[in-house]
Amino acid sequence: MINTRWGLAQKSSRPSWRTALLFSLSVVVSGCAAVKPAEADKPALYVYSTIDALLSGAYDGELTVKQLVSKGDFGLGTYNRLDGEMLVLGGVPYHFKADGSVTVAKPDDRIPLAYVLPFKPTHRFTLAGSPAAMSLTDIEAAIDARLPNKNLFYAVDVTGQFTGITTRAIAAQVRPYRPLAELVKTQVLFPRASATGTMVGIRSPAFSKGVSVPGWHWHFISDDRSYGGHVLAIGLVNAVANITPSHKVELDLPGNEDFANSDQTRDRSAELHQVEKQQK
Amino acid sequence: MINTRWGLAQKSSRPSWRTALLFSLSVVVSGCAAVKPAEADKPALYVYSTIDALLSGAYDGELTVKQLVSKGDFGLGTYNRLDGEMLVLGGVPYHFKADGSVTVAKPDDRIPLAYVLPFKPTHRFTLAGSPAAMSLTDIEAAIDARLPNKNLFYAVDVTGQFTGITTRAIAAQVRPYRPLAELVKTQVLFPRASATGTMVGIRSPAFSKGVSVPGWHWHFISDDRSYGGHVLAIGLVNAVANITPSHKVELDLPGNEDFANSDQTRDRSAELHQVEKQQK
């Protein structure tokens, strides 16, 4: 009952034939164990601004890091002036800059766009690539196979051993701001052969297009907190994943002129794909 | 400052040249007076389910009327089984059925889709059509002219004397449910030569497509509470309008199978236009 409500399929502890078919013999996917499916745990995804505002060049928000982490201890976003990438894990707001540095953001740093929630996972499972690592597409498909309800939001952490990672960050901008699809050509790539660490992902339903990134959006941070950013490519060797479903969203729109004047009437799907997925 | 934050233009008490140009001499539009622009008044628009779920045929929700009105005293929506139209005004949930009846919904009636907020208007102005009544398009343009920030949500009531009204309601459905664009062909029209009453409108920004109806969405109720429904056409003779801006949204997604299984990946813009605007 609770399980149905969350839209998470109860699965046996052995791979189903469908899963086996999907991932062939190259990937071992264990079952999906319910961790804490209490009815009361219904974390709201807090969303500040919209992806379409960011795509149009609204790179300055009023929200502070302190305010953001009061809304959730887990998530992702960016910083004012489009200064690199944000990842929030265990309540700590990390800041990946285009110079490759990883720092903890200050409480009064400001944010143009972010997605966070109180991470209260209801399901946990292991993922493993053998003999070849699971690609990002494989990882997303393996998690999607456990989410029959694609019309909710999900936050997922995937912690373990990874290979063939490419992250990116974009340098802080100066006004007048250009649209994000232009700036992404200047993104700095950070390839790494292997790392242990955590992927922080938000999955948004198709109807939230315009507000969020439909499908998966991943940032990464290494265990030693020295490496990370927006994930463009990654290989999973073995890892544990935790899923937090959310069927509540709290959307908070900036009150500034940039947001008011941003053109959010265009279909920016193509720009979004270019910005989120492509390595230049 | 506060005014900028709400994105409402401060206007003089006389029509601007731009307004005069827009509406020529046929319409007298008075200035926009700030009523209660306190910073603390930031009503959140509560949204239950999504317009794309309704378009796809998810006509049963779990939310009760009692729960809905606890979230806001003003708004619109429909009832389970797509049984007619909902309008909430002054905290009273009205129910327009396809037999033309107008009743007050019961607290335990259930809702598949609704948009409500605590109505706390910040701006008030008069609208008048002379010699010809203002059309729905005129009314929307006159209000839009006062909203330079099209990227917020707005709730508006327009109370006064109207002419040439056509409302509609759709009859309660039985399973298996067909998509809304098919059912709208069975809508019942309620034309009326004139009425005094209130238009209840929600304006949603373009980026909320999929969740809400981009642009304006109007329901109507007569002063004597005997007539109303979803507005397809209306003429405004003279009326007073109040605007409540909202830059916060609380989205609540149904936990049932209908919502989980609804196909919300398609672009339903054309269906939406057919459903919301057309008289068959």
pLDDT tens-digit series, residues B60-116: 999 999 999 999 999 999 999 999 999 999 999 999 999 999 999 999 999 999 999
More confident residue, A27 or A70: A70
Give the chain B residue nearest A267 (alpha carbons).
Answer: B207
| Nearest one of A64, A116, A57 to A90, comparing CA atoms | A116
Q: How far, in Å, CA of A214 to CA of B266, rounded?
A: 13
What confidence score (pLDDT) does residue B93 get?
98
Say whether pLDDT at A166 is over 60: yes
Say whether pLDDT at B253 is over 80: yes
pLDDT-derived band at B272, boundaries 50, 70, 90: confident
Q: Which of B149, B211, B248 sits opposite A208 (nearest CB)?
A: B211
What confidence score (pLDDT) does residue B266 get?
85
Q: How far, in Å, CA of B208 to CA of B153, rounded?
A: 9
Residues of chain A found within 8 Å of residue B5, distances taken between Cβ atoms: 255
Token pair 């309540």: residue = A91
Phi, psi of B53 (to 5 degrees): -65, -45
- Domain spans of chain A? 24-277
Residues of chain A found within 8 Å of residue B39, distances taken between Cβ atoms: none
Say whether pLDDT at B258 is over 80: yes
pLDDT tens-digit series, residues B126-158: 999 988 999 999 999 999 999 979 999 999 999
pLDDT-derived band at B196, boundaries 50, 70, 90: very high
Lowest-confidence region among A91-100, A144-153, B2-11, B271-280: B2-11
Lowest-confidence region among A206-215, A262-271, B89-98, B193-202: A262-271
What confidence score (pLDDT) does residue B90 get?
98
A241 neighbors A156 (Cβ within 8 angstroms): yes
Interface test with chain A among B151, B153, B209, by most A beta carbons within 10 Å: B151
B74 neighbors B185 (Cβ within 8 angstroms): no
B102 neighbors B85 (Cβ within 8 angstroms): no
Q: How far, in Å, CA of B280 to CA of A79, rounded?
A: 49
Q: Which helix or strand (DSSP H or E) is residue B165 part of?
A: strand B153-169
Please answer yes or no on whether B149 and A247 come within 8 Å at the CB atom: no
Average pLDDT, chain A: 87
DSSP string, chain A: -HHHHHTPPP--SS--HHHHHHHTTTEEE---EE----TT--PEEEEES-HHHHHHT-----EEHHHHHTT-SEEEEE-GGG-SEEEEETTEEEEE-TTS-EEEPPTT-EESEEEEE----SEEEEEEE-SSPBPHHHHHHHHHTT-S-TTSEEEEEEEEEEEEEEEEE-PPP-SSPPPHHHHGGGPEEEEEEEEEEEEEEEEE-GGGBTTB-BEEEEEEEETTSS-EEEEEEEEEEEEEEEEEEE-EEEEE---SHHHHH----S--HHHHHHHHH---
What confidence score (pLDDT) does residue A279 get?
67
pLDDT-derived band at A163, boundaries 50, 70, 90: very high
Average pLDDT, chain B: 87
Say whether pLDDT at A39 is over 70: no
Say whether pLDDT at B21 is over 60: no
What confidence score (pLDDT) does residue A271 get?
86
Fold of B23-277: 60s Ribosomal Protein L30; Chain: A; (3.30.1330)
What confidence score (pLDDT) does residue B123 get?
95
Rounded to 5°, angle at Cα A66 from A222 and A156: 40
Give the chain B residue nearest A258 (alpha carbons).
Answer: B149
From the DSSP assignment, how many helices (H) and strands (E) are in chain B?
8, 16
Task: Please enumerate residues of A whose Cβ is less than 8 A from a Cβ of B.
Answer: 4-7, 44, 50, 52-53, 148-152, 205-211, 247-255, 257, 259-260, 262, 264-265
Give me the architecture of the A24-277 domain, per CATH.
2-Layer Sandwich (3.30)
Residues of chain B found within 8 Å of residue A1, distances taken between Cβ atoms: none
What confidence score (pLDDT) does residue A41 get?
54
Q: How far, in Å, CA of A127 to CA of A136, rounded?
A: 12
Q: How many CB atoms lie within 10 A of CB A191?
A: 12
Interface test with chain B among A253, A263, A266, A267, by most B beta carbons within 10 Å: A253
Task: Please enumerate residues of B whose Cβ is less than 8 A from a Cβ of A.
Answer: 4-7, 44, 50, 52-53, 148-152, 205-211, 247-255, 257, 259-260, 262, 264-265
Residues of chain A found within 8 Å of residue B262, distances taken between Cβ atoms: 151
Lowest-confidence region among A59-68, A166-175, B37-46, B220-229: B37-46
Percent of chain B with pLDDT over 70: 84
Rounded to 5°, angle at Cα B124 from B123 and B130: 140
Instruction: State mean pLDDT over A63-78.
Output: 98
What confidence score (pLDDT) does residue B10 get?
39
Instruction: Report how far apart, in Å, the C-alpha atoms of A203 and of each of A58, A76, A149, A154, B91 are.
Output: 23, 11, 11, 5, 36
Instruction: State mean pLDDT over A95-122.
Output: 98
What confidence score (pLDDT) does residue B41 get?
54
Please answer yes or no on whether B249 and A254 come within 8 Å at the CB atom: no
What confidence score (pLDDT) does residue B33 get?
61
pLDDT-derived band at A174, boundaries 50, 70, 90: very high
pLDDT tens-digit series, residues A22-31: 333 333 344 4
Interface test with chain B among A251, A257, A258, by most B beta carbons within 10 Å: A251
pLDDT-derived band at A270, boundaries 50, 70, 90: confident
Say whether pLDDT at A235 is over 60: yes
Percent of chain A with pLDDT over 70: 84
What confidence score (pLDDT) does residue A35 get?
52
What confidence score (pLDDT) does residue B24 get?
35
Q: Which residues of A128-148 are buried (b: 16+ CB within 10 A; e: fewer)?
A: bbeeebbbbebbbbbbebbbe
CA A226 to chain centre: 19
- Pair of tokens at residue A31: 């079952």
Residues of chain B found within 8 Å of residue A147, distances taken between Cβ atoms: none
**A-B C-beta contacts closer than 8 Å:** 98
Residues of chain B found within 8 Å of residue A206, distances taken between Cβ atoms: 52, 210, 264-265
Strand partners, B212: B209
How buried is residue B21: exposed, middle or buried, by Cβ count under 10 Å (0-12/13-18/19+)?
exposed
Say whether pLDDT at B270 is over 90: no
Lowest-confidence region among A1-10, A129-138, B192-201: A1-10
Residues of chain B found within 8 Å of residue A210, distances taken between Cβ atoms: 206-210
| Nearest one of B183, B152, B201 to B275, comparing CA atoms | B183
Q: Which residues of B210-239 are buried (b: 16+ CB within 10 A; e: fewer)?
A: bbbbbbbbbbbbbeeeebbbbbbbbbbbeb
Q: How far, in Å, CA of B89 to CA of B113, rounded?
A: 16
- Pair of tokens at residue B3: 């005014």
Q: Which of B148, B254, B264 sits opposite A207 (nearest CB)?
A: B264
